[in-house]
Every structure is written in structure tokens, then in C-alpha cells.
Amino acid sequence: MIFKVFKKQELARLYELLAVNVIVGPVSRGNDRNGKPLYDFDVVYDFDELALDYTQTVHSPKRFVLPYQETLSTFAITREGWEKHVDINVYRPLVFFGMHACDINALNKLDLVLAQSTYPNPYYMGKRKNLFIIGLDCNPEPQCFCRSMGTDSAIHGFDVFLTDLGGKYFAEILSATAFDLLNQITCKDPSAKELALYKHVTHEKSTRYTATVDTSDLTKILDLEFESPAWDYWGEKCLSCGTCANVCPTCYCYGVEEHVDLGLQHASKTKSLHSCNLIDFAKVAGGHNFRPTSASRLKYRYYHKHRGFVEAFEESLCVGCGRCGAACLADITPPAVIASVRGKE
């Protein structure tokens, strides 16, 4: 890792150097009904559109590597027979300008399944490999429990990560591309004073988390508590709306549909993100539903994130961003669910 420091006004210059690509970053989306600012990730066309002091976006960045709906292939009848057309839907390199550590770690977790497993997903990999990520330090929100999940800082999965030191940014450089780019703006090696300030700023941030989840022995606790009444308690509240999976940066479950046109000349195969909380998620041919109750579906989501994924990859599939709890109309949050399964509430 190489460290540099540059004045804040140089960030606009960095933007200009990258602007030949598609740039995605945090943008303001007005306020919620309580007056709290809302943010989302979107394509930007000007540096001033970026809301770099954003708290947390409602949606995660996953739709830029895992679109909610994507055509996988199309088929057409021809004179000679039929043709298949496959497009992995990558058009231009995409620059992510200002991604927080939790979302960088979420992409790293998606990589484990979609890029590094036995059967890598070419649609995901095509987009992921064409990403240039500028990470940005954050201010913990009340719902953030990333520190409990070990995802409050990122050590890989970005090109350069910026920490605000007041009038300047402290840059952690991981890629040769980022190193070359930073050489084109005015930056310098950090002084001893700036290194000390960086350590102070990161330590001070670590003291500002209020939400926590006790992850100690959690896989064993979940095994022991498979029949816990806590699942019924939360299941009765759950509306099976799927919002939690929609906003979650690591939920990647999907369904595939095939469509044939009425003339039987064209067909397509489409992938759509799904949610294990939706009523038909475990419904199979013949009509049997393996998880007919909201409690069984909610439980499955927690077991996938905090039990099955840990068994497969030795880490949780949750980065503790708290988006699911913030968006849930039934006030179901991972800290509350896990505490009650542990018998603490």
C-alpha cells in the first residue's frame, strides 16, 4: 500500500481525469418525511453533482454489478435454424466515486460467490473487472454495525481509498492505475504529522459506533436456536415484502425466466434479483412451497447470511450497513433479531 496526501481541491482534478468513463457516485435525493437527507448512487455528469459528505445511500451499489433485471441471452429463428446471442452487458469502464468501506467489503463478499467460486458468473465478472473504485471514509449512522462485522474499514477491493483530514485527503493507493492518476494531480508523501492525524481520525471514528451485534459463536448459537420462538416472533411481524434484500449490498439470489414471442420467432432469457423473504421464493414445480411461512423465510435469510455463508467462506454475508433495518416497515433489524435469538431481549 502506498500513501499520499493531497489538497481537497485536487479531487475535482482527479474527477476530470476520470470523466472519459462513466462515473457513478452518491447524489442527493431530497429528504425523507422526517427531514432526514436521502442519498442514492447514480451516474453523474459533473463533479458538483457528487454528494461526497453523504451519510448512507438507501440502495447499495450492487445494481451496477448485479442489475435488478438483466437479459442473459436472446434467441431467433433463422433460415438455417436458430441463433443464440449472448451479451454480458458491459459497455464502458465504470468509475465509482466515493464508495464507503462497508460497500467495498460487500463487493468483496459477492466476489467470493460470483467471481471466485467453481462456476464464476461472467455477467458479474465483466462488470466487476471494469470497475475503478475510489473509496471514501464515512461517518457512522445510528444503524451501522459494520464494526461488529469487521467491515468498517476496507483493506482490498478498491483502487484508492480517501480519508478526510480536514483541508486534505489521505489516500491509500492499491492499484497501479490509481498511482498513475494521482501522479497527475498535486499530491505528496504524508508527513509524520499527517500520519498521526490519519491515525487519530480513524481511531476517533471507531469510537462513534452505537449499534452492535454480538457475533461470537454466532454460527453455533444459530444451530442451537433453530427452533427458537424468536423466529415466529419476528416472522409474524415480517410483511414478506423483500425490501431488505432489495437494499442489501450482499443479497444476490435471483430467478431466471424464459420468454417466447407469440410468433415463435424470438425468445429471451432474463435474470431478475429475487428475495428469500418473498412468498414464492421456495416454491417449486408442482406447487409445493418449502418455506410457506414468513417466519421460515426470514429465518432462512439469517441462516444464509450468518451461518451457511460463514461455513462456506469463513465470513458472514452481512457487512452491517443497517440498510435492511432502516428500510424495513416492520422495524426488523439484524441487531434486534440476533439479540433475541441469543435470548438477550
Task: Show Cβ contacts of residue 59 under 8 Å, excluding neighbours closer than 6 positions.
Answer: 40, 41, 246, 247, 323
What the block records as the C-alpha cell of 231 is 423466529
User: Residue 160 or 332: which CB sits closer to ligand SF4?
Assistant: 332
**Smaller CB distance to ligand SF4: residue 100 or 127?**
100
Q: Residue 226 CB, nearest distance to ligand SF4 (Å)?
A: 19
Rounded to a whole number of angstroms, the minimum distance from the CB of residue 344 to ligand SF4 is 18
What are 160's strand-pairing partners? 134, 173
State yes or no: residue 295 binds ligand SF4 (CB under 6 A).
no
Q: Pick one of 330, 336, 339, 340: the residue that binds ligand SF4 (CB under 6 A).
A: 330
* Whole-number Å distance between alpha carbons of 304 and 288: 21
Enumerate residues 229-248 that contact ligand SF4 by CB under 6 A.
Answer: 238-244, 247-248
Number of residues that bind ligand SF4 (CB under 6 A): 26
**271-296 burial: b if 16+ Cβ within 10 Å, else e:** bebbbbbbeebeeeeeeeeebebbbb
Q: How far is the CB of 332 from ligand SF4 (least distance, A)?
A: 4
Binds ligand SF4 (CB under 6 A): choice among 321, 338, 341, 342: 321
| Interface mask toward ligand SF4 for 262-281; x: CB under 6 A | ---------------x----
| Contacts of 292-298 spanning 24+ positions with Cβ under 8 A | 293/235, 294/235, 294/236, 294/238, 294/239, 294/240, 295/231, 295/232, 295/234, 295/235, 295/236, 295/238, 296/231, 296/235, 297/235, 297/238, 297/240, 298/231, 298/234, 298/235, 298/238, 298/332, 298/337
**Between 229-237 and 294-303, two packed helices, what is the crossing angle to 10 degrees?**
110
- Binder among 100, 127, 323, 342 for ligand SF4 (CB under 6 A): 323
- Grid coordinates belonging to 163: 480519508
87-106: which residues touch ligand SF4 (CB under 6 A)?
none
Our CB check for ligand SF4 shows the closer of 163 and 250 to be 250
Which span (16-24, 31-39, 93-101, 317-325) binds ligand SF4, by CB under 6 A? 317-325
Q: Which stretch binds ligand SF4 (CB under 6 A): 27-35, 66-74, 252-260, 322-330?
A: 322-330
C-alpha–C-alpha distance, residues 126 and 15, integer Å: 23
Residue among 61, 140, 190, 322 that touches ligand SF4 (CB under 6 A): 322
Nearest C-alpha neighbor of 22 from the set 43, 48, 41: 43
Binding mask 297-316 for ligand SF4 (x = CB under 6 A): -x------x-----------
Q: What is the contact surface with ligand SF4 in residues (CB under 6 A)?
A: 238-244, 247-250, 277, 298, 305, 318-324, 328-330, 332, 334
